[in-house]
Amino acid sequence: MKIIINFSFAFILIISGLTAQENLTISKAIKNTLENNLDIKISENYEKMAKNNSSILNNNYLPNIQLGSEINTNVQNIEIETPTGISGALDNTQTDNSSAVVSLNYNLIDASGRKFNFKKSKELYSKSKLEAKEIIENTLLQLFTVYFDVGRLTEEEKILKNALEISKKRYERKLTQYEYGQTNNLEVLNAEVDVNSDSINLLNLSNNLNNAKRDLNLIMNIDLDSDFDIDTNISFMKDDELSNLFMNDIKNNTRFLISEKDIIISNLDKKALEFSYLPTLGLSGSYGWNESINDNPYAFYNKSVSDGFSAGVNIRWDIFRGGKKIIANKNASINKENSILAKEKIILDLKKELKNAFQSHLNNLYILEAQNQNLKTNKNNFERNLERYNIGQVSSIEFRRAQLNLLSAELSKNSAKYRAKISEAYFLKISGEIISKFK
């Protein structure tokens, strides 16, 4: 009796700090994750950087405008001598020069292939949005896996609590019977062992549940000690919805869409390199002002001020750069071919994953239905054994066997339910619909 009380007290200690504070629905868990998850925040920042890079301000389409100014002073000692023999000296003559210039340069034709680089920056931005979406999808799949695992453990906790209550009642009944000489000490000890065994199972499961809740809090990036109740009511997609998604194949899969972007980007890289064979044709213009003040009395002038405009056209043509352009173009062609091959491989992998995910989910739904039928059978068997046990027609061993069979059926059915839900989420991830279906 003392051992049972200790187990019960330990169980109370474990759950005492975990009083439920709120009901955490899947929608709220998704909202918390999208708002707080650090991986998602990082991916969103990379997306913002790609957006900045795709701006016209970053792609050599606008002119360069420069403003310059200079002020300098020159102090000299001068000695002069003329051919006629006249000579003289000046000490500390000072010349002050001031100038300012505004210049503008613009390339009409840019050999860097800015047209294609600009398009590439737009495609890189589109790709970054897809990459951010893929991170969100992977994070949501992780969230669903942990969330439904918490749901499974929550229901298993209820199942094990019920099993423990049945074992306690049986133990109390055996104690009463033993006091009145209606059973022997072995029956009491067997009942006590079963209570202790069920208590240990419940303690271990409660610990696993608490750990799973902390895992879920970590994904949502909230206080690790936050407690909550999980909504254990689960519904599944209809057969026609599953079939339609399967028929859509992988056209909405994010990894597939990224591979398409890679082909477009590699093609733009190649075109930009081909453009490098052309010359760069530019326009330049400037406005300048200059002032010079000279205190040399023998100078031709003491002050000079000038200002004016200048304009010009320049052309630059890299005819040969040691063969680097040739190699770069060859490698660009190879890179384009590799991106096409990579897409073909991704298509094959994704089609296999989609078929496997679809078939696995259908199989899990079938197993769930079979486990439901098995649970009904074991419930009926347990109820009959309970009635017969109460009137003394079934031994404790037979009753315990029926109880364990029911417990196993309940746990198997519960596990099958959540396994099917997780397989559904994975199928939605592969089909590219996990965000739209759960949002």
Q: Please tell me the distance from the alpha carbon of residue 373 to that of residue 406, in angstroms, as a whole number.
A: 12
Q: Name the average pLDDT for the chain.
A: 88
Going by pLDDT thresholds of 50, 70 and 90, the confidence category of residue 207 is: very high
Q: What is the mean pLDDT of residues 287-301?
A: 70
What confidence tens digit (pLDDT) does each residue in 10-22 have? 544 444 444 446 8
Q: What is the pLDDT of residue 361?
A: 97
How much is the average pLDDT of 55-78?
Answer: 82
The structural domains of the chain, ordered by start, are 2-60+111-279+322-438 (1.20.1600.10), 65-109+281-316 (2.20.200)
pLDDT for 1 beyond 50: no
Residue 113 has pLDDT above 90, yes or no: no
* Strand ranges for 267-328 from DSSP E: 280-294, 303-316
Q: Please state whether 92 falls in left (phi above 0), alpha (psi between -120 and 50) or beta.
A: left
Q: Where are the beta strands (DSSP E) in 31-110?
A: 64-81, 87-109
Mean per-residue pLDDT for 27-40? Answer: 95
Mean pLDDT of 312-341: 87
Q: What is the per-residue pLDDT for 70?
A: 84
Which element (helix H / strand E) includes 221? none
Interatomic CA distance for residues 195 and 326, integer angstroms:
81
**pLDDT number for residue 9:** 45
* pLDDT tens digits along 336-395: 999 999 999 999 999 999 999 999 999 999 999 999 999 999 999 999 999 999 888 999
Please, what sign has the CA dihedral across residues 403, 407, 408, 410?
positive
Calculate mean pLDDT across residues 229-255: 93
Amino acid present at 26:
I
User: Mean of the pLDDT values across residues 261-265?
Assistant: 96
What's the pTM value of the predicted model, to 2 decimals? 0.85
